[in-house]
Amino acid sequence: MGQRQYFGTDGIRGHVGEAPITAEFALRLGNAAGRVLAQDNQRTVLIGKDTRLSGYMLEAALQAGLIAAGANAQLLGPIPTPGVAQLVKQTGACAGIVISASHNPHHDNGFKFFSAAGEKLSDGVEQAIEDALADTFFNCPPDMLGKASRMVDAGARYLDFCQASVSEGFHLRGLRLVLDCAHGATYKLAPQLFAGLGAEVYSTGVAPDGLNINSECGSTHPRALQAAVLEQNADIGIAFDGDGDRLMLVDRGGGILDGDDLLHLLAAVWHQQGRLRGPVVGTLMTNFALEKRFAELGIPFERANVGDRFVHERLVSLDGMLGGEASGHILCLDRAGTGDALVNALQVLEALQTSGRSAADWRESMPRFPQQTVNVRVPRGARPLQSERVQAERARIETLLAGRGRLVLRASGTEPLVRVTVEAESADEVAELASTLAQAVSSAAQASSAA
């Protein structure tokens, strides 16, 4: 197998109009995916998208490539990414493709793939698609071409799945709720879901024009939601990202609950209920306060590399069910096989009701450790992390912080940077230790590049 050129940790992504996010590439990608993913007894691939203007272009090209390869394309229209994953399983399709760049601006787009099981493709299948991309474009004989159709009730099917994720009799009557849908894929479905459960809903970010997705709104820009919650005197606010796989909460006082807060709330309530299974999985960047809090509660905790793909793999390997990142990408694997912001929002609201405590109370019960990350730019080819001085300084700081803080030292996978992250109870100590280690990395990098 050749070297992977296009697939990253979350599908294929880039700037629209620049390779690989072009109509020509989407045509070839659909053709390659059709050849690899379509089976003799099931040749239908579901295609969903968010609200980006470029989605029309990429959808048409992707569809043509699939049909030329003999696969059927079933179009879902704008729908959250996890909705595609769920509908693939529900309909027995051979695969699903989402045209989205998640929380990125409108000028970016990409392709996310799901297997017949509604999970991200394995490395081997992604490599097979890349290998097929290198082959000549394949056109079936005229009588073997695929067909295109549209699933007109895709949104309704997905909402039924979301509503079934909570306990029978669960409702939101009496709750005043603000939703920020980021002008993205949840813009129709989220208000319907929460209003249907009885909440009084005020919605923002629900007027997509193809260019305003994630623009100063949604889970990556929660200030808009904070202001709306205070203005509407709401009980709680929920912000989604452009493709509906991340969320942030805002309490009635305007305080933000990020992914670490939500993991704390869900794990604590589910642990008490006996629902929690296996360890909770965070990432290298999960705040040390959460790890410390879980130790106090007797909840096992593990860390994975940054990225929901790695969190998912770790959960599966440990037979766990709950994990996520501070970005709000949460995995509740006993309810959904991928990060599903609508399902997760319902799980959080149900856990809040069960606990009898407010969102603000939960947020305040886990004060964060000050954290600082210093990005040290290094010459290409330099290997400062192998330096004896850096390793000695790292060991000294880790010993100093043992049991009361944390150090993460890692090279960026995409840029010539070494990231130095320090957490501890004292902000002054964090700044001092991060600066000291960053200087050691910089000096070692310069020395290794000059050698």
* Whether residue 176 sits in one domain with residue 142: no
Q: Tell me the C-alpha distance between 91 and 178, whole Å.
A: 33
Asked whether residue 111 is domain-assigned, the answer is yes
Range of the domain at 405: 371-450
* Whether residue 326 sits in one domain with residue 266: yes
Asked whether residue 440 is domain-assigned, the answer is yes
* Whether residue 56 sits in one domain with residue 141: yes
* Whether residue 232 sits in one domain with residue 148: no
Beta pairing partners, 41: none
Q: Tell me the C-alpha distance between 74 and 67, whole Å.
A: 11
**Of 417, 386, 392, 420, whose CA–CA distance to 406 is shortest?**
420
* Whether residue 89 sits in one domain with residue 32: yes
The label of the residue with tokens 């050691």 reads 440
Q: Tell me the C-alpha distance between 245 and 206, whole Å.
A: 16
What is the amino acid identity at position 266?
Answer: L
Asked whether residue 4 is domain-assigned, the answer is no
Q: Tell me the C-alpha distance between 65 and 54, whole Å.
A: 17
Q: Tell me the C-alpha distance between 15 and 106, whole Å.
A: 9
* Whether residue 247 sits in one domain with residue 174: yes
Question: Has 102 been annotated as catalytic?
Answer: yes
* Whether residue 251 sits in one domain with residue 210: yes
* Whether residue 227 sits in one domain with residue 108: no
Q: Tell me the C-alpha distance between 451 and 446, whole Å.
A: 9
What is the amino acid identity at position 308?
Answer: D
Q: Tell me the C-alpha distance between 117 and 135, whole Å.
A: 27
Question: Which among 328, 345, 364 is the end of a domain?
Answer: 364
Asked whether residue 5 is domain-assigned, the answer is no
* Whether residue 297 sits in one domain with residue 249: no
Asked whether residue 6 is domain-assigned, the answer is no
Please report, in angstroms and rounded to a whole number, the separation of the first and last CA atoms in the chain: 35
* Whether residue 196 sits in one domain with residue 96: no
Number of domains in the chain: 4
Beta pairing partners, 236: 177, 251
Helices (H) and strands (E) in the chain, counts: 14, 18
Asked whether residue 37 is domain-assigned, the answer is yes
Pairing of strands 417-424, 371-377: antiparallel
Q: Tell me the C-alpha distance between 373 and 359, whole Å.
A: 28
Question: Which among 255, 275, 299 is the end of a domain?
Answer: 255
Question: Which among 364, 399, 417 is the end of a domain?
Answer: 364
pLDDT tens-digit profile of 192-233? Answer: 999 999 999 999 999 999 999 999 999 999 999 999 999 999
Burial of residue 205 (CB within 10 Å: 0-12, 13-18, 19+) is buried
* pLDDT at residue number 171: 97
Residue 220 belongs to what H/E stretch?
Answer: none
Report whether 188 contacts 208 (CB < 8 A): no
Cα 301 to chain centroid, rounded: 20
pLDDT tens-digit profile of 33-73? Answer: 999 999 888 999 999 999 999 999 999 999 999 999 999 99
Report whether 251 contacts 227 (CB < 8 A): no
Residue 221 belongs to what H/E stretch?
Answer: none
* Whether residue 262 sits in one domain with residue 250: no
Q: Tell me the C-alpha distance between 423 and 240, whole Å.
A: 28
Candidate list 102, 219, 387, 442, residue with the active-site label: 102
Q: Tell me the C-alpha distance between 237 and 231, whole Å.
A: 11
**DSSP symbols for 382-409:** --GGG-HHHHHHHHHHHHHHTTTEEEEE
What is the amino acid identity at position 30?
Answer: G
Radius of gyration of the chain (CA): 23
Give pLDDT < 70 ranges for the chain: 1-3, 413-414, 449-451
CATH at residue 377 = 3.30.310.50
CATH at residue 180 = 3.40.120.10
The pTM for the full model equals 0.92
Give the pair of three-digit tokens for residue 354.
């069960």
pLDDT tens-digit profile of 267-295? Answer: 999 999 999 999 999 998 899 999 999 99
DSSP state of 118: S
Query: Which residues are CB-neighbours of 315 under 8 A, at least 6 positions away?
Result: 278, 281, 321, 322, 323, 331, 333
Asked whether residue 189 is domain-assigned, the answer is yes
* Whether residue 206 sits in one domain with residue 94: no
Asked whether residue 424 is domain-assigned, the answer is yes
Q: Tell me the C-alpha distance between 281 and 306, whole Å.
A: 11
